[in-house]
Amino acid sequence: MELDLLTYLLLFLAGGMAGFVDSIAGGGGIITLPALLAAGIPPHQALATNKLQSTFGSFTAVSNYTRLGMVKPFALVEGMLFTLIGAALGAWAVQQFPADFLENLIVIMLIIIFLYTAFSPKLGYEAGKQKISPRLFYALAGLLIGFYDGFFGPGTGSFWTMALIVLLGLDLKHATAQTKLFNFTSNIVSFAVFAYAGLMVWTVGIVMGAGQIAGAYAGSTLVHQRDVGFIRVFFLIVVAATIVKLIVM
């Protein structure tokens, strides 16, 4: 697919903004997917290319969070494995069915997350009580959220972050860091499935991926430096924007 230089520049900037937002609160897809569609890329190719470019950003964020001591990937291999399986199934399923039938359910779930967070002012400020065992949590969340990310995607980071806070008792900073690890896992396997299906627009994905690297590094560094209050406000803004995007799309 041939695009002009200005379109590539705009896609690069979209990738940068998405990488920044995604590394803090998830939701970068509300920037990149519309940008890909606006560039004239067909929906299934846009979904595939979105996974390619977002893989750059999620890998950068995970690497930086690991360097800063906020996440330990080798301690979370079980969660990554279940996420991988779920995402592979989701990426296969989306090629068989239209993705839009999930939208109404997802909007309702995101509204619940937004209201729960908004009316729980201390949520995520400190580590809380663990509700279920980590093994059960990573099996269920990995399969379900991984499947959703491979199938559709918007709001995945919000679902992971909220689940980690409410069910495992993590504080918001460490939940954000873990979220990016599982985002990267589902991104890379979804990317592989889509690439095998021949749906990737490689030049676009790589250009946007370069923007993702810069944005994700800046965003993940900011999370480490700022307090939970900043991350909480950013999280609420991104969830609200995702809800609006899904309603009007």
Q: What are phi and psi of 243, to 5 degrees?
A: -60, -50
Q: What gap in Å lies between CA 101 and CA 94, rounded to an integer?
A: 11
Convert the pLDDT of each residue in 139-157 to its tens digit: 999 999 999 888 777 778 8
Q: What gap in Å lies between CA 153 and CA 51, rounded to an integer?
A: 9
What pLDDT is attached to residue 213?
97
End-to-end CA distance of the chain: 24
Choice between 130 and 105, residue whose per-residue pLDDT is larger: 130
Q: Please check the confidence at residue 106 and state whether its pLDDT lies above 70.
A: no
Convert the pLDDT of each residue in 14-38 to its tens digit: 999 999 988 888 778 888 888 898 8
Q: What gap in Å lies between CA 46 and CA 205, rounded to an integer?
A: 9
Convert the pLDDT of each residue in 179-236 to its tens digit: 999 999 998 988 898 899 899 999 999 999 999 999 999 999 999 888 888 888 888 8
